[in-house]
Amino acid sequence: MPASKTWLTRATPTLVLVGLCLLISLVDPRFLSLDNLVRIAAAASAPLVLALGVTFIILMGSIDLSIEGSMAFTASVLTALVANSSGKGLELGLLAVPLALVAAGAFGAVVGLVHVYLRVPSFMASLGMGFVGIGVATVLLGGERVSILDQNIRGLSLHRMLGVPLSIYIALLMLAVAWVIQNHMRLGRHVMALGGGEDLAAVSGVRVKRVRVLAFTLSGVFFGVGAVLACARLGAGSALIGNGQLFTAISAVVVGGTSLSGGRGGVFSTVIGVLIVMVLNNGMIILGLPTFIQQGVLGAAIIAAVLVNAPVRSFVVVK
């Protein structure tokens, strides 16, 4: 592909984001107000963290469909560790957060182990474990939405620093962590190598099985952070805490320009993708479009993104 076309393909998501912002601001000038931009950023915090987690899996050419189950499992563990409306919480406060994240990482590790050592395709292993996570959460929470009364947890969403919710700072911190892992750690380089071809990566000395399990563990931790932010925002834990987040996260990664075949894209592409999805949703709400139309538009955007990101493969097939 000529260099000019390669540049255009990589720049397309950013151009789309800028175009959407300009178009929506023409319809409603309040869109670009500071309050609305902060509102969009706050709403994007949890989806961004979730999308960053699944980015590592897609970069190595796999898929992780356990997001909703992982979030449900993390929410149930978190709720069990803090004071809640059932009166059975252990009142551990913010100490419950790292413990819940350990549980989330363990959940992701199990997904990776099932995929790698039982040789179950990643989409089936993660999908099955997703259902397991929701089932476990339903049992632990008694099938109910349990309020989280601990103000330390609620403060992650409600408290502000310099007028900005803490959840935004947490999302930015997780973005920095993801960027460091992708660009400055061996795990990130090996994930990219797997996306370029597992056989070639193995010949180059990459321990394929180990890297895959670690990548799923890492994604589990990111899903756990997303679950904590979602619980803090809703003030409750539920087996349905992640409902709809799978579609949003995968959409953001694909729309941002990360290739589903792996090896191309990254965390900053995901940031652009999340912003596109959130701005698009915000704009459609401003226009008063029904939810089912919003989902349809987002689905069309995913198909368009896949087509834009796979021109070479298409030309090869035609030839």
- pLDDT (tens, 9 = 90+) of the chain, 319 residues, equals 455 556 666 778 888 888 888 888 888 888 888 888 888 999 999 999 999 999 999 999 999 999 999 999 999 999 888 867 666 666 777 788 999 999 999 999 999 999 999 999 999 999 999 999 999 999 988 888 888 888 888 888 888 888 889 999 999 999 999 999 999 999 999 999 998 888 888 888 889 999 999 999 999 999 999 999 999 988 889 999 999 899 889 989 988 888 888 878 889 999 999 999 888 888 888 777 777 787 787 778 777 777 766 544 443 333 3
Distance between CA atoms of residues 144 and 39, nearest Å: 28
pLDDT at 86: 66
Q: What is the DSSP letter of 84?
A: B
Residues 6+ apart with CB under 8 A from 292: none
Q: Token digits for 300?
A: 């069309």
Distance between CA atoms of residues 296 and 310, nearest Å: 22
In the three-class reduction of DSSP (H, G, I as helix; E, B as strand; rest coil), residue 118 is classed as coil
Q: CA of 72: how far to CAs of 135, 159, 216, 304, in Å? A: 9, 24, 17, 31
Q: Are 96 and 78 in contact (CB under 8 A)?
A: yes
What are the start-end ranges of the H helices in 204-309? 208-234, 245-255, 267-287, 291-309
Q: Closest by alpha carbon to 308, among 13, 22, 30?
A: 13
CATH architecture of 8-308: Orthogonal Bundle (1.10)
pTM above 0.85, yes or no: yes
Q: Closest by alpha carbon to 251, among 260, 264, 263?
A: 260
pLDDT at 33: 85
Q: Are 232 and 55 in contact (CB under 8 A)?
A: no
Quote the radius of gyration of the chain (alpha carbons, Å): 20
The separation between CA 151 and the C-alpha centre of its own chain, rounded to angstroms, equals: 25
SS3 content of the chain, % helix, strand, coil (to 5): 75, 5, 20
In the three-class reduction of DSSP (H, G, I as helix; E, B as strand; rest coil), residue 148 is classed as strand
pLDDT at 155: 87
For the chain, the structural domain boundaries read 8-308
Distance between CA atoms of residues 187 and 207, nearest Å: 10
Q: Token digits for 170?
A: 């947490």
Q: Closest by alpha carbon to 266, among 31, 17, 55, 19?
A: 55
pLDDT at 312: 43
